[in-house]
Structure 1
């Protein structure tokens, strides 16, 4: 379901009712007469829908984390806010950039439209920028020939299943964040789908190596063995970008999770 399209449709419909009521119907009816209830009722929603549509389209948009692919950074049930303008101002619904501001940086947590089905929104971490050579071999991440700094950081407890996973601290660019790696899981990519620029990647028993094409990004989840990401479905084109995730505003299970994250 394209919520942006639904909201835009409601905005247009209520806006038409508001304009008719104010500029046409008000001149035809007598003093003190009222518009039909359905016109008056529909027009009254226009200012509210306009504010919501503008905020959601150009400033911030709320999302809910549906899966564990970004554990330990983001958990299932986290409600997050996404900055819609930091990567440029885009036209609502068609998502076309009209004003360039910043480009995604390595390490950003980004929401984007899934290339395989643009009606779905995904959230992953930016690992590879256009032109980068990204290698994830033997569960070690190397970018342009440089292995990303990684150090052990204890264990992560999966509270829902009561088991521990090794946790590491990894640095991508200027951003240091946590990841979890299942040492007993195989290093090779177990699930792939056909995708554009598939020839840019080489799969082996040790993992995958890819060269990121121009205008695209290579995304990975922080739950390295529990994330279906660019290793399996390819690259994210620039036109699919939605925005940068930056704040957890609620979690019904744990209010301590409210706050910013890396």
Structure 2
């Protein structure tokens, strides 16, 4: 069963807020200025301001996430801790994800965090619907995206690719295993060039086809085109499932038990 941290944090904030209100509006009058507060009530009431600040920051400003897989290599590595901009695509209520007001929409090339929409029909290996996923926006509503040998066309126009090089992985085992893949730059839009992995000796290209993006949806792919569970296999991301835009890496650690696992060079790196 997937634990919903946003739901837990919201529930705790409301609970502590209730204790805070009871203490301020009821118990404080009964005990008078020199009375001793109830220890239990005082403990929960004291947590309310801290939880409220954390909830607001996490829901409306920036939320931290950790990258658990190799699907966004070489842009994001296993063990990267990132900050996700929660107001980039609309200010949303926690838990329900209801949009209070719009602040923008994803652009082609944005790296986005979203709730996994599920596939139809589902398969046994699927994660729970609503699991946090991170991918790159390739197709906007109304676009026709062509995929062939892990290379793309958008509305019939081929995307520009740079010179190929052999990728050498480092850090986590899954990253090292990608050594030998082809690393190449991809320019989805002016000023939005990024690297992808698109060939690997252990695996052929897959997911070829044409994808017509419905209104209100987005087509997303991982930068690691040979090892990413993405829109080629389960479809499109509804706008309502968007959580925010990945902006910056604030830490990288593939193994907390080993100090050598920290890659300090990635701290502060802007995600492009």
TM-score by length of 2: 0.87
Residue of structure 2 in register with 1:181 after alignment: 198
CA distance in 2, matches of 1:143, 1:209: 10
Which SS does the other structure have where 2:163 is aligned? strand
Provide Cα deviations, 1:212-257, integer angstroms capped at 9, x if missing partner: 0000000000000010100001100000000000100001221101
Tell me, yes or no, if the aligned pair for 1:90 and 1:99 is still in contact at 8 Å: yes
Deviation of the 1:166 alpha carbon: 1.1
Residue of structure 1 in register with 2:144 after alignment: 133
Residue of structure 1 in register with 2:186 after alignment: 170
Which SS does the other structure have where 1:157 is aligned? coil
CA distance in 2, matches of 1:90, 1:31: 41
Q: Of the candidates 9, 14, 17, which is equivalent to residue 15 of structure 1?
A: 17
Tell me, yes or no, if the aligned pair for 1:118 and 1:240 is still in contact at 8 Å: no
CA distance in 2, matches of 1:71, 1:224: 9
- 1:94-243 alignment runs, 5 A limit: 94-116=96-118, 117-159=128-170, 160=173, 161=176, 163-174=179-190, 175-184=192-201, 185-189=203-207, 207-243=208-244
Report runs of 4+ in structure 1 exceeding 4 Å deviation: none
Deviation of the 1:154 alpha carbon: 2.0
* 1:26 is the counterpart of 2:28: yes
Deviation of the 1:137 alpha carbon: 1.2
CA distance in 2, matches of 1:251, 1:225: 23
CA distance in 1, matches of 2:28, 2:147: 66
Residue of structure 2 in register with 1:89 after alignment: 91
Moved more, 163-172 or 42-51: 163-172
Moved more, 76-85 or 24-33: 24-33
Deviation of the 1:183 alpha carbon: 4.9
Tell me, yes or no, if the aligned pair for 2:117 and 2:130 is still in contact at 8 Å: no
Gaps of 5+ in 2: 119-127, 254-261
Q: What is the root-mean-square deviation of aligned Cα atoms in Å?
A: 1.2
Which SS does the other structure have where 2:52 is aligned? helix
Deviation of the 1:59 alpha carbon: 0.3
CA distance in 2, matches of 1:72, 1:41: 46
CA distance in 1, matches of 2:105, 2:13: 30
CA distance in 2, matches of 1:144, 1:183: 27
Which SS does the other structure have where 2:199 is aligned? coil
CA distance in 2, matches of 1:118, 1:232: 15
Deviation of the 1:261 alpha carbon: 2.1
CA distance in 1, matches of 2:14, 2:229: 38
CA distance in 2, matches of 1:33, 1:235: 60
CA distance in 1, matches of 2:222, 2:130: 20
Whose strand proportion is higher, 1 or 2?
1
